[in-house]
Amino acid sequence: MYSPEIIDTIWRKIDEKLCRTAVRSADKLPYTAVDGVHDNKAETDITWWTNGFWPALMWLMYLGTGRGVYRAVAEKAELLLDGAFLKYDGLHHDVGFMWHISSGVNYRLFGGEKSRLRTLYAADILAARFNPMGRFIRSWNDDRVGWVIIDSMMNIPLLYWAEKEHGDPRYGYVARLHADTVLRSHIRDDGSVSHIVSLSPSDGSYIESFGGQGYGVGSSWSRGQAWAIYGFALSYIHTGDERYLAAARRVADYFISCVEKTGYVARADFRAPAEPDIIDSTASAIAACGLLELGEEKYRRAAIETVLALEKYCDFSPETDALLTMGAEAYHGRRGLPVIYGDFFYAEAIYKLRGGKFLFW
């Protein structure tokens, strides 16, 4: 049963845990945890796409509590992340995940020039990946020149920000043209979403789709559905274009019809066989954040059901590092593990339900 007090209690438990984790992991960029201890991508893979989520989580906790420790750890992580700029070959389209929610948040809160430059540099890297004939931002660096992944919708808010910051509409044009292409090529008539679509690099026409991190071709990878809900909601917020809101709502209706059957905890793929029953807590957490931006009571209710259902997958112990258990990297990948974006989006959903107004994206 929902009440604001329950949400406050969850937030308090998150804070009691993370203020201890923050100290233990102050020199890390965590991705997952092994035996309760965060790993460290700063040592093993500085360009890893999730490396912005740890500072983002620290900024979220700073905003929600005012505790200086969170700000200090977020700023430390931002410096660690600078190592990624020195590895040109390793950078990719996920620079929004890496800098918009780390240095980008620092700049929007405190206005530091170095944080601004880091974030603008990331925006230039993303904008430079745009294919003007295909009208899309390429997702991969290798010979997959026309492949576009639904996750990209979460990176383009970096461009909406750069458009305003520079006063240069080119960044916004790139973001909107990309969003229009994804709207046309990835969202199916029933509101489900392809994870990866191959488009012609010369004219953007549809070639084929791939199962990606889902079960297979034509399936419905739940985290991809969640990226679409939140990603299109964000494009609507930044542009006011009602088509993006309609798309986000269409995918949300499909998502809700799937998770209603499983107590609001998403299976890793909504079109996979009944067995094995693989869940992905991170898909639910991301979807909850998107649902809260869709402006209708039914979506807010679904978001609340989701965060309450996920509570039983949270590890609130201050002795262990990760928060949300039972993530799945991919349907055919590692399962049953915590991943840093699961922690971030779960905390972000609670932050929003408590009335937090700062939009990270």
Spatial separation of the C-alpha atoms in residues 54 and 101, rounded to whole Å: 9
- Alpha carbon 310 to chain centroid distance? 17
- Residue (254 or 345) nearer to ligand GLY, CB: 345
**How near is the Cβ of 278 to ligand GLY at its closest, in Å?**
14
Q: What part of residues 157-216 is at the interface with ligand GLY (CB under 6 A)?
A: 213
Torsion of CA 280, 285, 287, 288, to 10 degrees: 140
- Structure tokens belonging to residue 171: 């960044």
Site size for ligand GLY (CB under 6 A): 3
Question: What string of DSSP letters covers 192-215?
Answer: -B-SEEEE-TTT--EEEEE-TTSS
- Find the shortest distance in angstroms from Cβ 6 to ligand GLY: 29
Site for ligand GLY in 115-154 (CB under 6 A): 151
CB of 109 to ligand GLY, least distance (A): 26
189 is catalytic: no
Site for ligand GLY in 276-295 (CB under 6 A): none
Instruction: Specify the pairing of strand 33-34 against strand 37-38.
Output: antiparallel
Min dist CB 48 to ligand GLY, Å, is 11
Q: Which is nearer to ligand GLY, 192 or 213 (CB)?
A: 213
Residue closer to ligand GLY (CB basis): 64 or 327: 327
Active-site hit among 8, 35, 94, 168: 94
Take residue 101 and report the two structure tokens written for it.
């929610």
Distance of closest approach, residue 151 Cβ to ligand GLY, in angstroms: 5
Residue placing its CB nearer to ligand GLY in the complex, 102 or 106: 102
Please identify, using beta-carbon distances, which residue of 31 and 107 lies nearer to ligand GLY.
31
Beta-ladder partners of 209: 197
Instruction: By CB under 6 A, name the one of 186, 223, 238, 352 that touches ligand GLY.
Output: 223
* Alpha-carbon span 314 to 94, nearest angstrom: 27
- Measured from the CB atom, the residue of 213 and 235 that comes closer to ligand GLY is 213
- CA nearest to 265, candidates 279, 251, 249, 278: 279
- Select which of 39, 151, 280, 343 is catalytic: 151
For residues 87, 89, 90, 91, the Cα torsion angle rounded to the nearest 10 degrees is 90
14 and 323 in contact (C-beta within 8 Å)? yes
3-state secondary structure 217-277: CCCCEHHHHHHHHHHHHHHHHHHCCHHHHHHHHHHHHHHHHHHHHHCCCCECECCCCCCCC
- 3-state class (DSSP) for residue 73: helix
Q: Minimum distance from CB of 195 to ligand GLY (Å)?
A: 8
Local structure of 136: helix, strand or coil: strand
151 is catalytic: yes
Q: 328 - beta bridge partners?
A: 335
List active site positions: 94, 151
Give the residues lining the site for ligand GLY (CB under 6 A).
151, 213, 223
